[in-house]
Copies of this chain bind each other. A is one copy, B any other.
Amino acid sequence: MAVIVQKYGGSSLADEEKIKAVAERIKKAREEEGKVAVIVSAMGDTTDELIEMAERITSEPDPREMDMLLNTGEQISIALLSMALQRLGVPAVSMTGSQLGVATTEKHQKARIIDIDVERVNRELNENRVVVAAGFQGVTGEKEYTTLGRGGSDTTAVALAAKLDARCEIYTDVPGIHTCDPGLVPGARRLEAISYEEMMEMASLGAEIVHPRAVELASKYEVPLYVGQALKQDEGTEIGAESEYLEKSVITGLALSEDDIQVNLRGVEASEEMPGKIFTLCGRADINIDMISQLLNGGSTMQLSFTADKSDRDSIAEIMDKLEQELRISDWWLDEEVCKISVVGPGMRSQPGVAADVFNLMSARDIMVKMVTTSEIKISWLVPTGSEEQALRAVAEKFDLTYE
């Protein structure tokens, strides 16, 4: 009999009524589809509330103690969801990350899964129980509790599915993956199927429905993924190997990110080492560089622009201040009034001209393209804040991303 792993996020478990509704859904899946293992997040805003409690105690909580604290969030969910299942006559057993056998590295707050010992899960499933296990958490060889950091629950679900050779269904409060955000582009179409690769690009671009880390893991172990709405029977999106969707339209989706800042250097003495120096210092400060654009001005000066996350604003300014002397940078500035738009689609490989379309669409609307970067299946460009909706709608219309 098939095994499926279902993952329910915090918003689907925000109160007791929602937990009961999720239990009904699990009951149905068990009757219709086979054995079910469920991975849950902490209820609603529980994790944020726990973090606030810690912050009222100290501004620098110990990572080990934070993990001890945060572990309680999912533990409450698994107990309540198990009770809700039992109330419906469905045998269920809750398991913490430790009981689930999630062995992790020792890095508190950012642990990585080493392996899952599925002996007990299999035993419980074979005894016809629904396993309700805590996502996001694990345990080290020293029996210390850890958490997996961002996207942790999705990652637990996919890792468990990989070990059980199961299909993994991720339930959230949005109905699957769309070509673009329906809030920004009215009529945005839902995608019935998408490849791991596209999903990774889409997810890291702001369509944060499944964490890229989990998609990467699913891709590696070829776990069939499904993303849908927890409390509705609406159709969601299947995520699988790319080969299954080869003949699709050029563009799969369109994403917007408002979390970037652009760093610009002008009139810098041309030097091969300069960009490397800057990015090395950024790397040491844990700053992720995203887009990079470099231009030699014919002569001896060059121009460099790059983007990073808005939250790294101050660290970047500090690094640039430090380098001003050393690298003889006469003119540099941060631009925070930018939005990043990206189109993703495997069809781009075989269909040149998407970049041209983008530039033409922007210029026809007087939208300045402040920077651009391309990959095999993606084009991203920066536009000034305020013009993003117009830009998104133009692209969506051109590439047929909306219904009608």
Is there contact, CB below 8 Å, between B65 and A86? yes
The interface residues of chain B lying within 8 Å CB-to-CB of A72 are 72, 75-76
Is A386 close to B, CB under 8 A? no
Is there contact, CB below 8 Å, between A53 and B68? no
Binds B, one of A54-62, A162-170, A183-191, A273-281: A54-62
Known: A19-B57, A57-B16, A143-B99. A80 touches B86 (CB 8 A): no
- Produce 1/0 per residue, A76-113, CB < 8 A to B: 10111011101100000110101100000000000000
Question: A interface, by DSSP: helix, strand, loop or mixed?
Answer: helix
Is A323 close to B, CB under 8 A? no
The interface residues of chain B lying within 8 Å CB-to-CB of A64 are 93-94
Known: A16-B56, A57-B80, A80-B54. A86 touches B62 (CB 8 A): yes
User: For window 35-84 of chain A, which residues contact chain B by CB distance below 8 Å?
Assistant: 50, 53-54, 56-58, 60-62, 64-66, 68-69, 71-72, 75-76, 78-80, 82-84
Is there contact, CB below 8 Å, between B54 and A82? no
Chain A interface size range = 35 or more
Is A7 close to B, CB under 8 A? no
A115 to chain B, nearest CB (A): 18
Is A27 close to B, CB under 8 A? no
CB contact between A65 and one of B16, B57, B69, B94 (< 8 Å): that residue:
B94
Chain B, Cβ-Cβ closest to A99: B143
User: For window 147-176 of chain A, which residues contact chain B by CB distance below 8 Å?
Assistant: none
Known: A50-B76, A76-B50, A76-B53. A83 touches B62 (CB 8 A): yes
Most buried by B among A66, A76, A84: A76
Is A178 close to B, CB under 8 A? no
Is A340 close to B, CB under 8 A? no
C-alpha spacing A364/B113, complex, angstroms: 77
Is there contact, CB below 8 Å, between A61 and B83? yes
The interface residues of chain B lying within 8 Å CB-to-CB of A99 are 143
Is there contact, CB below 8 Å, between A80 and B94? no
Is A20 close to B, CB under 8 A? yes
- Produce 1/0 per residue, A132-145, CB < 8 A to B: 00000000000101
C-alpha spacing A68/B253, complex, angstroms: 43
A261 to chain B, nearest CB (A): 32
The interface residues of chain B lying within 8 Å CB-to-CB of A66 are 79
The interface residues of chain B lying within 8 Å CB-to-CB of A16 are 53, 56-57
Chain B, Cβ-Cβ closest to A55: B16
C-alpha spacing A60/B83, complex, angstroms: 9
Known: A66-B79, A99-B143, A143-B99. A58 touches B71 (CB 8 A): no
C-alpha spacing A80/B49, complex, angstroms: 13
C-alpha spacing A50/B68, complex, angstroms: 18
C-alpha spacing A309/B50, complex, angstroms: 39
CB contact between A58 and one of B65, B87, B94 (< 8 Å): that residue:
B87
Which 10 pairs show the lowest CB-CB distances between chains A and B? A69-B79, A72-B72, A68-B79, A16-B56, A58-B87, A65-B79, A57-B83, A65-B82, A72-B75, A61-B83
